[in-house]
Amino acid sequence: MPVHRSGTARLRRLAVAGTLLAAFSFLTALPSSAATTPARGSASMGMGVVAHDGSDGTPAGGRATRTEGVDVSGHQGNVAWSTLWNSGVRWAYTKATEGTYYTNPYFAQQYNGSYNVGMIRGAYHFATPDTTSGAAQADYFVDHGGGWSRDGRTLPGTLDIEWNPYGAACYGKTQSGMVAWIADFLNTYRARTGRDAVIYTATSWWTQCTGNYGGFAANNPLWIARYSTDPGTLPAGWGFYTMWQYTSSGPTVGDHDKFNGALDRVQALALG
Protein backbone atom coordinates (compact mmCIF):
# COMPACT_ATOMS: atom_id res chain seq x y z
CA MET A 1 0.00 0.00 0.00
CA PRO A 2 1.62 3.36 -1.03
CA VAL A 3 2.65 5.77 1.71
CA HIS A 4 1.45 9.34 1.13
CA ARG A 5 3.89 12.06 2.40
CA SER A 6 2.24 14.90 4.22
CA GLY A 7 2.26 18.50 2.94
CA THR A 8 4.54 19.42 5.87
CA ALA A 9 7.19 16.92 4.71
CA ARG A 10 7.09 18.34 1.19
CA LEU A 11 7.56 21.85 2.56
CA ARG A 12 10.58 20.71 4.56
CA ARG A 13 12.18 19.19 1.45
CA LEU A 14 11.61 22.41 -0.49
CA ALA A 15 13.12 24.47 2.33
CA VAL A 16 16.25 22.29 2.49
CA ALA A 17 16.65 22.41 -1.30
CA GLY A 18 16.34 26.20 -1.23
CA THR A 19 18.98 26.49 1.48
CA LEU A 20 21.41 24.30 -0.47
CA LEU A 21 20.82 26.29 -3.65
CA ALA A 22 21.47 29.56 -1.83
CA ALA A 23 24.69 28.21 -0.32
CA PHE A 24 25.89 27.01 -3.73
CA SER A 25 25.13 30.40 -5.28
CA PHE A 26 27.09 32.17 -2.52
CA LEU A 27 30.13 29.93 -2.97
CA THR A 28 30.18 30.36 -6.74
CA ALA A 29 29.96 34.13 -6.29
CA LEU A 30 33.06 34.29 -4.06
CA PRO A 31 36.10 35.85 -5.80
CA SER A 32 38.83 33.45 -6.82
CA SER A 33 42.43 33.91 -5.66
CA ALA A 34 43.25 35.10 -9.18
CA ALA A 35 40.98 38.09 -8.63
CA THR A 36 43.29 39.32 -5.86
CA THR A 37 46.42 39.14 -8.04
CA PRO A 38 47.22 42.54 -9.58
CA ALA A 39 47.48 43.00 -13.32
CA ARG A 40 50.91 42.55 -14.86
CA GLY A 41 52.67 45.89 -15.14
CA SER A 42 50.97 47.42 -12.10
CA ALA A 43 53.82 46.75 -9.65
CA SER A 44 55.64 49.66 -8.06
CA MET A 45 58.38 50.27 -5.52
CA GLY A 46 57.46 49.05 -2.06
CA MET A 47 54.30 47.30 -3.19
CA GLY A 48 55.03 44.45 -0.81
CA VAL A 49 56.69 46.37 2.01
CA VAL A 50 53.54 47.18 3.98
CA ALA A 51 52.23 43.63 3.58
CA HIS A 52 55.51 41.91 4.48
CA ASP A 53 57.69 44.35 6.38
CA GLY A 54 55.59 46.65 8.55
CA SER A 55 53.49 49.78 8.25
CA ASP A 56 54.33 53.37 7.40
CA GLY A 57 56.37 55.44 9.79
CA THR A 58 57.95 58.85 10.09
CA PRO A 59 61.73 59.23 10.20
CA ALA A 60 63.20 60.06 13.57
CA GLY A 61 64.68 63.54 13.88
CA GLY A 62 68.13 64.63 14.94
CA ARG A 63 70.02 62.68 12.29
CA ALA A 64 72.70 63.78 9.82
CA THR A 65 71.62 65.87 6.85
CA ARG A 66 69.34 63.99 4.48
CA THR A 67 67.77 65.20 1.25
CA GLU A 68 64.10 64.54 0.51
CA GLY A 69 63.16 62.55 -2.58
CA VAL A 70 60.15 60.86 -4.14
CA ASP A 71 59.52 57.86 -6.37
CA VAL A 72 56.51 57.51 -8.64
CA SER A 73 55.00 55.10 -11.15
CA GLY A 74 52.06 54.95 -13.50
CA HIS A 75 49.75 54.85 -10.47
CA GLN A 76 50.41 58.57 -9.86
CA GLY A 77 49.58 59.69 -13.41
CA ASN A 78 50.61 63.24 -14.23
CA VAL A 79 52.54 64.54 -11.23
CA ALA A 80 52.40 68.11 -9.85
CA TRP A 81 56.18 68.53 -9.77
CA SER A 82 56.12 72.18 -8.77
CA THR A 83 54.13 71.27 -5.65
CA LEU A 84 56.70 68.64 -4.70
CA TRP A 85 59.56 71.06 -5.39
CA ASN A 86 57.96 73.69 -3.18
CA SER A 87 57.61 71.10 -0.40
CA GLY A 88 61.36 70.49 -0.40
CA VAL A 89 61.71 67.44 -2.67
CA ARG A 90 64.97 67.67 -4.63
CA TRP A 91 65.35 64.30 -6.35
CA ALA A 92 62.99 61.80 -7.95
CA TYR A 93 62.87 58.34 -9.47
CA THR A 94 60.25 57.29 -12.01
CA LYS A 95 59.27 53.74 -12.92
CA ALA A 96 60.26 53.18 -16.54
CA THR A 97 59.74 49.47 -17.10
CA GLU A 98 58.73 46.10 -15.71
CA GLY A 99 59.93 42.75 -17.02
CA THR A 100 60.19 42.97 -20.80
CA TYR A 101 56.48 43.62 -21.28
CA TYR A 102 55.59 46.98 -19.70
CA THR A 103 56.54 50.62 -20.05
CA ASN A 104 55.06 53.36 -17.86
CA PRO A 105 52.63 55.43 -19.99
CA TYR A 106 53.31 58.50 -17.81
CA PHE A 107 57.09 58.14 -17.92
CA ALA A 108 57.79 61.20 -20.09
CA GLN A 109 55.69 63.55 -17.94
CA GLN A 110 57.20 62.22 -14.74
CA TYR A 111 60.82 61.84 -15.80
CA ASN A 112 61.05 65.10 -17.76
CA GLY A 113 58.72 67.00 -15.44
CA SER A 114 60.92 66.38 -12.40
CA TYR A 115 63.99 67.46 -14.39
CA ASN A 116 62.31 70.60 -15.74
CA VAL A 117 61.32 71.79 -12.26
CA GLY A 118 64.93 71.52 -11.12
CA MET A 119 65.17 68.07 -9.55
CA ILE A 120 67.86 65.46 -10.05
CA ARG A 121 66.04 62.50 -11.57
CA GLY A 122 66.48 58.82 -12.34
CA ALA A 123 64.54 55.81 -13.62
CA TYR A 124 63.83 52.42 -12.07
CA HIS A 125 62.97 48.96 -13.34
CA PHE A 126 60.64 46.56 -11.52
CA ALA A 127 62.28 43.15 -11.85
CA THR A 128 60.34 39.98 -12.64
CA PRO A 129 63.01 37.26 -12.56
CA ASP A 130 60.50 34.56 -13.46
CA THR A 131 59.69 36.00 -16.89
CA THR A 132 62.99 36.70 -18.71
CA SER A 133 66.71 36.85 -18.00
CA GLY A 134 68.46 39.63 -16.10
CA ALA A 135 70.33 40.66 -19.24
CA ALA A 136 67.11 40.88 -21.29
CA GLN A 137 65.45 43.05 -18.65
CA ALA A 138 68.48 45.34 -18.33
CA ASP A 139 68.48 45.86 -22.10
CA TYR A 140 64.74 46.54 -22.08
CA PHE A 141 65.19 49.04 -19.25
CA VAL A 142 68.01 50.94 -20.98
CA ASP A 143 66.09 50.96 -24.27
CA HIS A 144 62.98 52.42 -22.63
CA GLY A 145 64.21 55.28 -20.46
CA GLY A 146 66.65 53.67 -18.04
CA GLY A 147 69.85 55.01 -19.54
CA TRP A 148 72.26 57.49 -18.00
CA SER A 149 73.97 60.69 -19.16
CA ARG A 150 76.71 62.72 -17.53
CA ASP A 151 74.68 65.91 -17.26
CA GLY A 152 74.89 66.18 -13.48
CA ARG A 153 71.11 65.85 -13.20
CA THR A 154 70.56 62.18 -14.07
CA LEU A 155 70.96 59.42 -11.47
CA PRO A 156 72.00 55.86 -12.37
CA GLY A 157 69.18 53.43 -13.00
CA THR A 158 67.73 51.42 -10.12
CA LEU A 159 66.92 47.72 -10.03
CA ASP A 160 63.77 47.31 -7.92
CA ILE A 161 64.05 43.73 -6.63
CA GLU A 162 61.48 42.78 -3.99
CA TRP A 163 58.43 40.65 -3.29
CA ASN A 164 56.66 39.20 -6.30
CA PRO A 165 53.16 40.71 -6.43
CA TYR A 166 52.04 38.07 -8.93
CA GLY A 167 53.10 34.86 -7.20
CA ALA A 168 55.82 33.23 -5.08
CA ALA A 169 57.88 35.80 -3.15
CA CYS A 170 61.21 34.69 -4.66
CA TYR A 171 59.84 34.20 -8.19
CA GLY A 172 60.42 30.46 -7.99
CA LYS A 173 64.21 30.88 -7.80
CA THR A 174 66.71 29.39 -5.40
CA GLN A 175 68.89 31.83 -3.48
CA SER A 176 71.86 31.17 -5.75
CA GLY A 177 69.63 31.42 -8.80
CA MET A 178 68.37 34.82 -7.64
CA VAL A 179 71.92 36.09 -7.06
CA ALA A 180 72.86 34.95 -10.57
CA TRP A 181 69.83 36.70 -12.07
CA ILE A 182 70.64 39.97 -10.29
CA ALA A 183 74.29 39.78 -11.38
CA ASP A 184 73.17 39.24 -14.97
CA PHE A 185 71.07 42.41 -14.81
CA LEU A 186 73.75 44.51 -13.11
CA ASN A 187 76.55 43.41 -15.43
CA THR A 188 74.46 44.15 -18.51
CA TYR A 189 73.37 47.53 -17.18
CA ARG A 190 76.98 48.52 -16.51
CA ALA A 191 78.07 47.35 -19.96
CA ARG A 192 75.31 49.41 -21.58
CA THR A 193 75.64 52.63 -19.54
CA GLY A 194 79.05 52.67 -17.86
CA ARG A 195 77.36 53.02 -14.46
CA ASP A 196 76.65 50.62 -11.64
CA ALA A 197 72.92 50.43 -10.97
CA VAL A 198 71.38 51.18 -7.60
CA ILE A 199 69.76 48.20 -5.84
CA TYR A 200 66.40 48.85 -4.19
CA THR A 201 65.26 46.13 -1.79
CA ALA A 202 64.09 45.30 1.74
CA THR A 203 66.34 43.45 4.17
CA SER A 204 63.83 40.71 4.95
CA TRP A 205 63.22 39.95 1.26
CA TRP A 206 66.94 40.07 0.48
CA THR A 207 67.67 37.65 3.31
CA GLN A 208 64.93 35.24 2.26
CA CYS A 209 65.55 35.27 -1.47
CA THR A 210 69.33 35.78 -1.85
CA GLY A 211 70.50 34.23 1.43
CA ASN A 212 71.61 37.73 2.49
CA TYR A 213 74.25 37.84 -0.23
CA GLY A 214 76.83 40.59 0.31
CA GLY A 215 78.72 40.55 -2.96
CA PHE A 216 77.07 43.55 -4.62
CA ALA A 217 77.77 46.03 -1.84
CA ALA A 218 81.19 47.14 -3.11
CA ASN A 219 79.83 48.60 -6.35
CA ASN A 220 76.06 49.04 -6.16
CA PRO A 221 74.53 51.77 -3.97
CA LEU A 222 71.79 50.54 -1.62
CA TRP A 223 68.27 51.97 -1.60
CA ILE A 224 66.67 50.36 1.44
CA ALA A 225 62.91 50.09 1.94
CA ARG A 226 61.63 50.18 5.51
CA TYR A 227 58.48 52.02 6.58
CA SER A 228 59.50 52.88 10.10
CA THR A 229 61.32 55.54 12.08
CA ASP A 230 64.74 54.31 10.93
CA PRO A 231 66.16 52.09 8.16
CA GLY A 232 66.85 49.20 10.53
CA THR A 233 69.35 46.44 9.84
CA LEU A 234 70.84 46.63 6.35
CA PRO A 235 71.52 43.66 4.07
CA ALA A 236 74.93 42.00 4.33
CA GLY A 237 77.90 43.90 2.94
CA TRP A 238 76.42 47.39 3.03
CA GLY A 239 77.76 49.46 5.91
CA PHE A 240 75.42 52.35 5.06
CA TYR A 241 72.45 53.11 2.84
CA THR A 242 72.50 55.66 0.03
CA MET A 243 68.72 56.12 -0.08
CA TRP A 244 65.93 55.10 2.27
CA GLN A 245 62.28 54.76 1.28
CA TYR A 246 60.52 55.51 4.55
CA THR A 247 56.84 55.84 3.58
CA SER A 248 54.37 55.02 0.83
CA SER A 249 51.83 57.65 1.84
CA GLY A 250 53.10 60.93 0.47
CA PRO A 251 52.84 63.81 1.21
CA THR A 252 51.47 65.00 -2.16
CA VAL A 253 52.10 61.81 -4.20
CA GLY A 254 54.23 58.71 -4.33
CA ASP A 255 56.60 57.04 -1.93
CA HIS A 256 58.93 59.39 -0.09
CA ASP A 257 62.61 58.86 0.50
CA LYS A 258 65.67 60.26 2.23
CA PHE A 259 69.05 60.53 0.53
CA ASN A 260 71.81 59.86 3.06
CA GLY A 261 73.55 63.23 2.66
CA ALA A 262 73.10 66.80 1.53
CA LEU A 263 72.16 67.82 -2.01
CA ASP A 264 75.81 67.89 -3.11
CA ARG A 265 75.98 64.13 -2.42
CA VAL A 266 72.94 63.56 -4.66
CA GLN A 267 74.77 65.54 -7.36
CA ALA A 268 77.90 63.45 -6.80
CA LEU A 269 75.97 60.23 -7.41
CA ALA A 270 74.49 61.71 -10.58
CA LEU A 271 77.98 62.55 -11.85
CA GLY A 272 79.36 59.14 -10.94
Q: Which of 71, 196, 255, 257 is catalytic?
A: 71
Q: Which entry of 53, 98, 162, 196 is annotated as an active-site residue? A: 162
160 close to 186: Cβ distance less than 8 angstroms: no
Q: Does residue 177 contact residue 132 with C-beta atoms inside 8 Å?
A: no
Q: Is the dihedral of CA 205, 207, 208, 211 positive or negative?
A: positive
196 is catalytic: no
The yes-or-no answer on residue 184 being catalytic is no
160 counts as catalytic:
yes
Q: Which of 98, 139, 160, 257 is catalytic?
A: 160
Cis peptide leading into residue 31 (ω within 30°): no
**Backbone dihedral angles phi then psi of residue 93, each to the nearest 5 degrees:** -120, 140
Answer for the pair 260, 63: CB distance below 8 angstroms, yes or no: no
Distances (CA, A) of 17 to 6, 12, 164: 17, 9, 44
Residues known to be catalytic = 71, 160, 162
